[in-house]
């Protein structure tokens, strides 16, 4: 029995870390968005800067939301 409890605890910690990493990656993508737009402008991709902006923000929000919802579900199952 004690072995099962330890495994459950480590799985919970691993799941928390996984969802925290999702949130961190989402924030990193969002914070890299202005740099990517400037780099695209530097290389002459001004026409595609608006598309790049929308795509990066959408991906950042989706990845962050996956982590946030996952952490909320873990808290509910405690």
In a domain, 63, yes or no: yes
In a domain, 69, yes or no: yes
In a domain, 7, yes or no: no
Asked if residues 51 and 41 have their Cβ atoms less than 8 Å apart, the reply is no
pTM above 0.85, yes or no: no
In a domain, 10, yes or no: no
Token reading at 47: 């026409």
Span 3-35, pLDDT tens digits = 444 445 567 788 889 999 999 999 999 999 999
In a domain, 38, yes or no: yes
Span 35-53, pLDDT tens digits = 988 888 888 877 778 888 9
Token reading at 49: 């800067």
């Amino acid at each position: 029995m004690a072995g099962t409890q330890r495994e459950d605890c480590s799985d919970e910690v691993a799941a928390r870390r996984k969802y925290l990493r999702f949130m961190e990656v989402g924030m990193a993508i969002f914070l890299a968005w202005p740099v990517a737009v400037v780099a695209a402008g530097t290389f002459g991709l001004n026409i595609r800067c608006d598309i790049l902006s929308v795509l990066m923000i959408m991906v950042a929000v989706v990845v962050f939301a996956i982590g946030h919802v996952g952490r909320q579900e873990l808290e509910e199952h405690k």
